[in-house]
Each structure stands twice: as C-alpha cells, then as structure tokens.
Chains A and B, each alone.
Chain A
C-alpha cells in the first residue's frame, strides 16, 4: 500500500516555500550541486508555520469524493487538520498530530479519540494516505544519499533527475526515490518511490505551479498508489506562511473543545 512520504510532510512542507532563507535555485547551471538542490527541496518540505485551506479529492475505482480542509502546521511535529466540508457527518472532524501520535475529534460524537498504534496502517479519512504517513517523516538530507543522473523532460518541464538512495542508517523502506526537479525553479515535479524489486510502489506528482507571495509554488499534488484506479489529489486554495500560531492550537484541550 502506502507509506512514508508523509502527508504531514506534504501539508507541513510546501507552505514553507515562501518563507525563510531558502537557498537560491542554481537555475540553468550546467551541473548543479546536488546536495544543495536536495537541501533546498528538504527545506521546502520542512516549513516553520503555516495556515492553509485545501481540497482533497479521493478517487476509487467506482467512486470519488472530496473534502475541504483547513490546516495549521508548526514545524514537523505539530499539525492540526479540520474538515470544513465533506459529508455532513465529517464536517468539523479534526485530526491532531503531536510528534508521533494522532488524535481525532469526532464531531457527531463530540469526543476525542486517540488512534491506537494498531490502526496506523489504516487509511486516513479514506484517502490514499495512511495514519502512519501523518505521523512520521523521513529527511531527504539525513536519510538519503543524492546523485544527479541527468537532465530529463518531465511533465512538460526541463528537469534534473536526482536519485536518492537510502543511507544504511535510515529506516526507509524504499529501495530508492527518484526526484525530478524543474531546472529553472528547482521545484519538485514528480517523486517516484521504488520497492525492493525496482518497481514503482507509489508516485507523487506536483502541478499547478502558481505564484504565491514571491515565488512559484505547486498548489496541487497527487498521490498514486500501486493499486489501480486509486488516487488522492490535494489542492491548496489558500495559504499563509510564517504566521505566528499559538501552541495552544495544537493542544489536546483545544481539540476536545471541538473548535
């Protein structure tokens, strides 16, 4: 199924684009510094704080549905997701991530429930993300050794292809990750996760690059698991970066109040 590319990383990450001292993009360079590129992407994927509104479209072989959500993030460890619009019973549902643990607020029940570790492999909100995805993150810099393999054409972009091989010390299940970065903007275009046999187990696509603040920004990403007919697409409707968020936002007490 799916794992590790963390949803948390995604929802936490991209907003950070507009923030902080992001290393500049060595656009057009003949042979860029791979380590710098990866670090830049990593930086991208680990923001400081953000508040965003997004739409999640989940597709199965015979059905499809969508959810509108508001997301607050602070670093890698804290995130709060609130469903603004979904089926009537889901509206108001919240998921709180605090370090490696997850709690759900259930609006109809008016109660908070901690997710037991046995459920970590289960789907989050019926999407192609697992609860596990929300909890853990791997670091592209710390866990992988990067190597530039050349320039390719990816999804209409002139892109660098970087192969990330997991370091022996990492706990990554992929045999390798291929990362395609746009050559001019250095933004990720596609990430492919390979299993032990060298087959693609999962694909992550970035698209709808838009100018947010000072920079271009992929406002849509799509997860394609290896099961046929399934996909989950997340689209950002609105993002604000680097807003100060009170620690109380990520507290259980607040979750329990359901607001």
Chain B
C-alpha cells in the first residue's frame, strides 16, 4: 500500500525523479565500474600467483622460508600429503624439489634454479609453465629437462640439446649430471624464464641426493582467488608445526601483497572522492525536492495523514529511487565493462613483482564486491538524502507547512 503510493508519487513529478535518479545512476555506474576494474585486476593477479609457481599455500620443512637450504626438507611427503588432503578436501596438491646450481650448454653457462615437479600432479589448476617449443615433461622419459625461454636463448638451447647441471646436493657433495632438453617453456615470470630448469621430481631428487624427500608441497585451492586464512589454519592444525611450516602466498610474496594493497588504497582514495561527489549531487537533489514538497506534506498532514506515515512515504520514495538508480547504474556499468571487455594493463604489463608476472591484459567482469559497494552507497545516499528533510517536513505543523510557498 505504502509502496504503491510511493511508486505512484515518484512518477507524479517524473522530471524531478529523472533528475534525482540520473545523478544516482551515474554515480553508481562509476563506482561499480571502478570497483570491478580494480577487483578484476587483483583477482587475475592473485590467480597468476596461485596457479603459478607459488600456489595458495605452501608447506616446507621448518625454517625453509627464511633460509632455503637444500637440506631443509619434508622428509616423508606421502604421509604429509595424505594429512593435508584430509584437512583440505578439494585442494590440489603438488610436490616440488627446489634447488640452485649452474647450468651449462656447449656454448655457455649460467646460474639456474632447478625445479623438480611431478607432471602427473599438474592439473588444470596449475599453470606453472607453457611449453612453447618441444614437449613438456609429461610423457618424457627420465633425464629430460624443460628450460625457461630466456635461459634457453642465453645458453643456445633447443629441444634435443644437451644441458649440464652442477650444484650442491643435500649431502654437500657436488651434484652433476646431463639432461636432454625436451622443451622450452614460458612461465609468466621473467626471473623464472631466465633461470628455470624443470626436471621430473625423481630426477631432481636423485640430483640433489634427497632420497624420497622434497622441499615443498604446493596447495592450490579450488578457487584460485580464495582467501587463504581458513585453509592456512586448517593446514597448520593438521601438520606437525615443529618439523613443518605452512605459508600462504601473501606471506611468501609480501611485495605483491603490498602492491595490491597500495593499489587498493590508492583507488579507495579516488573512489571516495567520486562517492562524495555523487553523494553530494544526489543529496542536494533529494533534500531539495523533499524541502520543496513541504507544502504538499502540509496538505497531507492537514488532511489527517499521520506524521510517521509521511516520513515512511518520503523514505520509501527515496529508497525506490535509489533502487532504480542502483539497477540502471549496475546495468550501465555491466554494459560498459562488457563493451570494454579487457584492458591492456599497461602500467604493469609484463612486470615481475616478487617473481610473479603481471598479466598484460585484464578481462573485466562485474564483481560481486562492486555490487555490494554500490548497493550500500545507493542505500546510504537515498536514506540520508530523504531522512533529514522528511523528518523536518513531518515535524511542521500543518498550518505552517501550507503557508510555506
């Protein structure tokens, strides 16, 4: 009843409504667009991290993060994997061996990072590297290596070339061996492209004299952008904290985390300015329209309408307008986001932050967080814009109100 009345009321003076709603729509659209742009970017960035080298969480031997010594290991990976899987059902786990050494070809030699991976554990969620020439490790026999593209070009390696590795093993002896390059890969990180050598887990374990031990277990959650606090706590509870450590991507890459935080803060500043401007415009329009209707309310009051009902009517009208503004604004933003499609993320394209390459383009989509922000903005503006003038109007004595021109 109140709703129908309010609905009819706002179309009684449609010009006024259109003015109010248009201001709100433009503002909502702006906020939704900016928010979606930012959150799309972050999601993509975090996705690169959690699907790449780092994962959502990592388990190491205790102390490995601070001092990644080749002999700090997870001694019994199978058991630890089983415990983790139980604590984090649905998560995808990968074993890894990580070490450093010297890689040499017939032409040259250079410092390398040696990563032992189990190709069978690489699923759709892992985007560690993309083979650009030759083959991956999946079906390769033992003693095959996939080499980062930058390293390959510096050492003059091609699929089929020979790669010699030298490094210090866990027993402090000098590990050395020869591998055949099965493929050249791009990893999404410039640092890694320039230094990475991927081996089969077993090859890496024997190279570094690790026996069955490994250095890391990567945890990839179902949603790459998922918050890590919950799973982190679950994993920590499941594992022996004396011999093992569990870290989230943000703990391993504080630089990236800081970067995202910086961007967010920066954009919050801008958002806030936009919000103020929108709020101001809408508040002005709304409060003015309510004030100008003082006479109307006076008439209503003198006809016996109760104060509370007037107040309710005004607020309902305002909220209705807010709702219209919200719907049109979000639709408008969605349309613009869709029309823009993707943005060349020029400022950071191809840049490494904490070893993670920022994607060059960001696909924009409407983000739930943005709609949430827009909703609260619209609600807040509509309510505040109407409440004070409505309260004022409802307080006027009928005679006084009708006298006002």
- Asked whether A and B interact, the reply is yes
Please count how many residues in chain A sit with their CB below 8 Å of the partner chain's CB atoms: 25
Instruction: Let me know if B104 is at the binding interface, CB within 8 A.
Output: yes
A109 near B174: Cβ-Cβ < 8 Å: no
B109 near A126: Cβ-Cβ < 8 Å: no
- CB neighbours (8 Å) of A90 from chain B are 173-174, 176
Provide the B160-175 mask, 1 if CB < 8 A to any CB of A, else 0.
Answer: 0010111011011111
Binds B, one of A9-17, A115-123, A155-163, A240-248: A115-123
Q: With A115-B102, A115-B109, A116-B111 known to touch, is A106 a contact of B172 (CB < 8 Å)?
A: no
Q: Which residue of A lies closest to B109 (CB)?
A: A113
Instruction: Let me know if A26 is at the binding interface, CB within 8 A.
Output: no
> For the complex, would chain B's binding face be called helix, strand, loop or mixed by DSSP majority?
strand
User: Which B residues have a C-beta under 8 Å from some C-beta of A?
Assistant: 102, 104, 108-111, 162, 164-166, 168-169, 171-178, 209
Q: With A111-B104, A111-B164 known to touch, is A116 a contact of B109 (CB < 8 Å)?
A: yes
A108 near B104: Cβ-Cβ < 8 Å: no
Q: With A113-B164, A126-B172 known to touch, is A108 a contact of B109 (CB < 8 Å)?
A: no
- CB neighbours (8 Å) of A75 from chain B are none
Instruction: Let me know if A93 is at the binding interface, CB within 8 A.
Output: yes
A110 to B166, CA, bound (A): 12
A-B contacts besides A89-B177, A118-B110, 11 pairs, CB < 8 Å: A87-B173, A89-B173, A90-B173, A93-B176, A106-B166, A110-B178, A111-B104, A111-B164, A113-B104, A114-B109, A126-B173
A109 to B178, CA, bound (A): 4
B102 near A119: Cβ-Cβ < 8 Å: yes
- CB neighbours (8 Å) of A114 from chain B are 104, 108-109
- CB neighbours (8 Å) of B109 from chain A are 113-116
Least Cβ–Cβ distance between B207 and chain A, in angstroms: 9
- CB neighbours (8 Å) of B166 from chain A are 104, 106, 109, 113
User: Which A residues have a C-beta under 8 Å from some C-beta of B?
Assistant: 58, 60, 63, 65, 86-87, 89-90, 93, 104, 106-111, 113-116, 118-119, 123, 125-126
A63 near B176: Cβ-Cβ < 8 Å: no
Q: Which residue of B lies closest to A127 (CB)?
A: B172
Q: List 7 A-B contacts (CB under 8 A).
A: A87-B169, A106-B176, A108-B177, A111-B162, A113-B104, A115-B109, A116-B102
> For the complex, would chain A's binding face be called helix, strand, loop or mixed by DSSP majority?
loop
Q: With A111-B104, A113-B166, A116-B109 known to touch, is A86 a contact of B173 (CB < 8 Å)?
A: yes
B168 near A109: Cβ-Cβ < 8 Å: no
A111 near B110: Cβ-Cβ < 8 Å: no
- Which residue in B162, B172, B178 is a CB contact (below 8 Å) of A108? B178
Least Cβ–Cβ distance between A238 and chain B, in angstroms: 23
A104 to B101, CA, bound (A): 13
A108 to B173, CA, bound (A): 13
- CB neighbours (8 Å) of B172 from chain A are 58, 60, 63, 65, 126
A119 to B172, CA, bound (A): 17
A86 to B111, CA, bound (A): 24
- Which residue in A89, A123, A126 is a CB contact (below 8 Å) of B176? A89
A224 to B390, CA, bound (A): 85
Least Cβ–Cβ distance between A59 and chain B, in angstroms: 10
- Which residue in B111, B173, B175, B178 is a CB contact (below 8 Å) of A118? B111
B171 near A87: Cβ-Cβ < 8 Å: yes
A123 near B168: Cβ-Cβ < 8 Å: yes
A113 near B102: Cβ-Cβ < 8 Å: yes
Least Cβ–Cβ distance between B107 and chain A, in angstroms: 10
Least Cβ–Cβ distance between B73 and chain A, in angstroms: 14
- Which residue in B102, B165, B209 is a CB contact (below 8 Å) of A87? B209
- CB neighbours (8 Å) of A119 from chain B are 102, 111
A20 to B176, CA, bound (A): 40
- CB neighbours (8 Å) of A110 from chain B are 178
A108 to B164, CA, bound (A): 9
A109 near B175: Cβ-Cβ < 8 Å: no
A86 to B174, CA, bound (A): 9
- CB neighbours (8 Å) of A89 from chain B are 169, 173-177, 209
A93 to B164, CA, bound (A): 14
Least Cβ–Cβ distance between B295 and chain A, in angstroms: 84
A93 to B171, CA, bound (A): 16
- CB neighbours (8 Å) of B174 from chain A are 86-87, 89-90, 93, 125-126
